[in-house]
C-alpha cells in the first residue's frame, strides 16, 4: 500500500473512531447517543476533520441558511450522518437537518468550490462561505469566494466538475 493510501485509510479509521468515541462519551454523560441517519442513496463524499471526524469542522450547516452566518455547532446537538459527525448550534437546527439534509449540505463535498470549478481538490475553511442559488459553498480563502460569487458561471462549473473531482479523492 502506498504511503498516501495508507495515510488516507488511517484518517478514515481515525474519523470513525472519533465518531464512535463522541457517541460513547455523549451517552455516558447522560445524553442520548448521536442519531444515525441513513445514506438515502446519496454517494457524495464529505470533507471532515481528520482528527475529530466533524463535518464542516464542527460548523452548523443549517445556521448558514437560518442565520446567514458560520456558527459553531455544539456537542450536545450532533448526529452521525454519511459517516461523519455533524454538529448544530441548536436542537431545532439538528431537526431541520434531519428532516431534509440535502437542503443544507455544502456543495462540492465541503471542499473549496472555486477550486472545484477548476477541477482541483482543495480543503476549505467553513468560516468562508456563500449561499448561491440556495446552495451552500465553502472556500479556502476570501479571494476564492469573491471570484466565485462575482463569476456566475463558476457555480455551474463547480457542480459539473464535482463528480470528476470527487473521483480524485483517496479514502
Q: What's phi and psi for 148, nearest 5 deg?
A: -65, -45
- Which portions of the chain are predicted below pLDDT 70? 1-44, 171
The pLDDT, as a whole number, for residue 171 is 59
pLDDT for position 12: 45
| C-alpha cell read off for 33 | 447517543
Please report the pLDDT score of residue 112 as a whole number.
97
Taking alpha carbons only, the member of 144, 136, 139, 75 closest to residue 106 is 136
Instruction: Give strand pairing partners of 88.
Output: 74
Rounded to two decimals, what is the model's pTM?
Answer: 0.74
pLDDT at 18: 43
Residue 125 pLDDT: 96
Residue 125, φ and ψ in degrees, nearest 5: -105, 110
* Amino acid 1: pLDDT: 53
The pLDDT value recorded for residue 168 is: 83
Quickly list H helices, 69-139. Answer: 91-99, 113-117
Amino acid at each position: 500500500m502506498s504511503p498516501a493510501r495508507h495515510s488516507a485509510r488511517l484518517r478514515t479509521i481515525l474519523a470513525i473512531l472519533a465518531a464512535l468515541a463522541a457517541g460513547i462519551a455523549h451517552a455516558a454523560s447522560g445524553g442520548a447517543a448521536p442519531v444515525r441517519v441513513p445514506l438515502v442513496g446519496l454517494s457524495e463524499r464529505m470533507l471532515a476533520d481528520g482528527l475529530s471526524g466533524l463535518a464542516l469542522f464542527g460548523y452548523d450547516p443549517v445556521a448558514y441558511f437560518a442565520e446567514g452566518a458560520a456558527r459553531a455547532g455544539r456537542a450536545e446537538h450532533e448526529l452521525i450522518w454519511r459517516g461523519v459527525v455533524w454538529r448544530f448550534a441548536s436542537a431545532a437546527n439538528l431537526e431541520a437537518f434531519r428532516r431534509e439534509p440535502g437542503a443544507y449540505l455544502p456543495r462540492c463535498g465541503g471542499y473549496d468550490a472555486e477550486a472545484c470549478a477548476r477541477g482541483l481538490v482543495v480543503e476549505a475553511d467553513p468560516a468562508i462561505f456563500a449561499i448561491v442559488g440556495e446552495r451552500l459553498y465553502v472556500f479556502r480563502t476570501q479571494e476564492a469566494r469573491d471570484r466565485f460569487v462575482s463569476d456566475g458561471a463558476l457555480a455551474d462549473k463547480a457542480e459539473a466538475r464535482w463528480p470528476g473531482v470527487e473521483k480524485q479523492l483517496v479514502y
